[in-house]
């Protein structure tokens, strides 16, 4: 009986946290949507996809590398 209550409480907390994050980033641009240099994530991603679609694979690779460098933190890249 106690395990059921614990599971229900844990799931409820997870749902509330998920809802909070969704509402926080859903209406306004998420703080991770722009890099420190002010370039938007979607703009860089669209540019890389356009280059890939045109067959410029080296340019697309460079765009993806730049995107990764701009939008990943040093903590995440160490893992």
Spatial distance between the Cα atoms of 54 and 60, rounded to a whole number of angstroms: 9
Q: Are 51 and 72 part of one and the same domain?
A: yes
Q: Are 46 and 23 part of one and the same domain?
A: no
pLDDT tens-digit readout, 15-65: 888 777 777 666 555 555 566 666 777 888 888 888 888 988 888 888 888
Spatial distance between the Cα atoms of 76 and 79, rounded to a whole number of angstroms: 6
Q: Are 24 and 57 part of one and the same domain?
A: no
- By residue range, what is the domain housing residue 58? 34-79
Q: Are 74 and 42 part of one and the same domain?
A: yes
Looking at residue 77, its pLDDT comes to: 47
Domain count, the chain: 2
């Amino acid at each position: 009986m106690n395990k059921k209550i614990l599971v229900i409480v844990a799931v409820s907390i997870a749902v509330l946290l998920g809802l909070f994050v969704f509402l926080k980033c859903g209406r306004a641009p998420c703080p991770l949507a722009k890099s420190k240099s002010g370039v938007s994530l979607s703009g860089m991603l669209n540019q890389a996809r356009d280059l890939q679609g045109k067959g410029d694979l080296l340019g697309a690779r460079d765009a993806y590398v730049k995107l990764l460098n701009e939008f990943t933190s040093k903590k995440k890249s160490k893992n």
